[in-house]
């Protein structure tokens, strides 16, 4: 039987690896050195910097080192935790960056274009830039006051042009940035710049989009979280709309809290007198006006009902349900403004809940008989009804009752005249 002889093997034989299996060593310092060398050749000419960055993307790995690239363009070098620049290497930083640029807005806008052009050319850098900004904003305590001003102004420009979403500002809600007022100073500078660039309305819209409208007070140092100080800070910078936004948001939160308190009290079947006292104390503390209080009471009471789907049954059910809460309505229907707000809210509710379309007149009649609504306010509603929600339907529904009120009023006036004549 023949045996196979082994073939000879050359010593030092190399096993060929596919290029895709080779892993490039992560070398941010080498990338930094290459970028800084290219920037130095431009001598700070921003047009030349844009040209260099466009062409360098074909040779340098922006996909892997995108955040390092932004470190250099913003701070001049490789940022390390805490906000300082790595000093490794012969040339660790460059002066051709935002932190070394003049802080006037013309210079800032010119630098803005470098970033806009770069991300327009390499679209994948947009997401990296968002992550970069989340990192850089956490580092602001390590920057100088001048650097923070420049970064705040540039961040405002990037928000204006959509380079970063406003939600990145939420990273400033960080204890070590808040306690010394650094986060607040940064935001105020950013707000002022944004207002100058795109106007106050756009700033408010951006704050809402980023979910900051309800968190503005959180950026104040704990020992300065007062309404007076909040007002002073933004008045000094002529940012009155921010104060209005804060007040409106605080009012909305107070209303939600009041509604939840009402639901809890009613579910616990507390006496109306106790509920009334609680509401009045809460309203006084939060400055919620009477016309808004009574609307909240209506919405809460109606949310507790389990309504029949049959239109012919729901009217009687609603009247029975509301009868039990008339003392609560009486306690807060103390002004014409509150009464009118209640009528309009009932109208809106009946219009938006179709099963209640025929219940409107019965509900208003109940409130009239229990002296929650006065005839003067009902007649004014009928005459001046400005709500478009089912207007003609409800006016027609109320026609006979209003005619009865008007006749009763005329008879009363006639009787008074006769008495006076006697």
For residues 273-281, give the mean pLDDT.
Answer: 91
Band the pLDDT of 16: cuts 50, 70, 90: low
Give residue-wise pLDDT tens across range 362-394: 999 999 999 999 999 999 999 987 777 888 999
- Reported as a single tens digit per residue, the pLDDT across 219-228 is 999 999 999 9
The residue among 155, 165, 218 whose CA lies nearest residue 191 is 155
Which domains does the chain carry?
26-134 (no CATH), 289-408 (1.25.40.180)
Average pLDDT estimate for 286-314: 88
Tell me, what's the pLDDT at 312? 78
pLDDT at 300 exceeding the cut of 90: yes
pLDDT for position 143: 97
92 and 29 Cβ atoms separated by less than 8 Å: no
Residue in 377, 382, 374, 375 with CA at minimum distance from that of residue 399: 382
User: In Å, how far are 104, 214, 293, 395 from 245, measured between CA atoms?
Assistant: 29, 9, 20, 36
Q: What is the pLDDT of residues 250-269, one digit of tens each?
A: 888 888 999 999 999 888 88
Give the helix/strand (H/E) hosting 413. Answer: helix 391-421
Rounded CA separation 194/153 (Å): 8
Q: What is the model's pTM? A: 0.72
Cα–Cα distance between 417 and 405 in angstroms, integer? 18
> Residue 20 pLDDT > 50, yes or no?
no
- Using the 8-state DSSP alphabet, how is residue 77 labeled? B
DSSP label at 84? E
């Amino acid at each position: 039987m023949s045996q196979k002889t082994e073939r000879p093997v050359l010593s030092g034989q190399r096993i060929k690896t596919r290029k895709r299996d080779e892993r490039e060593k992560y070398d941010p310092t080498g990338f930094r050195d290459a970028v800084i060398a290219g920037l130095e050749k431009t001598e700070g000419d921003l047009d030349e910097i844009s040209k260099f960055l466009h062409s360098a993307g074909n040779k340098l790995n922006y996909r892997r080192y995108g955040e390092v690239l932004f470190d250099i363009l913003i701070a001049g070098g490789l940022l390390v935790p805490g906000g300082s620049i790595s000093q490794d290497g012969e040339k660790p930083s460059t002066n051709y960056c935002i932190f070394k640029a003049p802080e006037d807005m013309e210079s800032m806008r010119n630098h803005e274009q470098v970033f806009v052009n770069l991300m327009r050319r390499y679209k994948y850098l947009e997401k990296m830039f968002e992550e970069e900004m989340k990192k850089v904003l956490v580092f602001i305590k390590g920057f100088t006051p001048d650097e923070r001003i420049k970064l705040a102004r540039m961040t405002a420009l990037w928000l204006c042009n959509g380079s970063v979403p406003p939600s990145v500002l939420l990273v400033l809600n960080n204890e070590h940035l808040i306690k010394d007022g650094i986060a607040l100073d940064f935001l105020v500078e950013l707000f002022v710049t944004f207002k100058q660039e795109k106007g106050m309305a756009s700033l408010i819209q951006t704050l809402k989009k980023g979910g900051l409208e309800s968190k503005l007070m959180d950026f104040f140092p704990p020992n300065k979280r007062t309404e007076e100080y909040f007002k002073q800070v933004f008045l000094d910078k002529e940012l009155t709309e921010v104060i209005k936004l804060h007040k409106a948001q605080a009012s909305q939160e107070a209303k939600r809290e009041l509604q939840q308190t009402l639901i809890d009290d009613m579910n616990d079947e507390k006496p109306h007198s106790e509920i009334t006292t609680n509401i009045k104390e809460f309203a006084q503390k939060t400055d919620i006006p009477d016309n808004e209080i009574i609307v909240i009471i209506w919405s809460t009471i109606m949310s507790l009902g389990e309504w029949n789907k049959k239109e012919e049954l729901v009217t009687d059910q609603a009247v029975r349900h509301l009868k039990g809460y008339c003392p609560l309505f009486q306690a807060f229907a103390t002004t014409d403004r509150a009464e009118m707000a209640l009528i309009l809210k009932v109208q809106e509710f009946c219009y938006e809940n179709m099963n209640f379309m025929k219940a409107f007149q019965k509900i208003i009649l109940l409130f009239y008989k229990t002296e929650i609504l006065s005839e003067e306010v009902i007649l004014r509603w009928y005459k001046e009804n400005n709500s478009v929600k089912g207007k003609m339907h409800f006016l027609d529904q109320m026609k006979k009752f209003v005619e009865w009120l008007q006749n009763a009023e005329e008879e009363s006036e006639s009787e008074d005249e006769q008495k006076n004549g006697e």
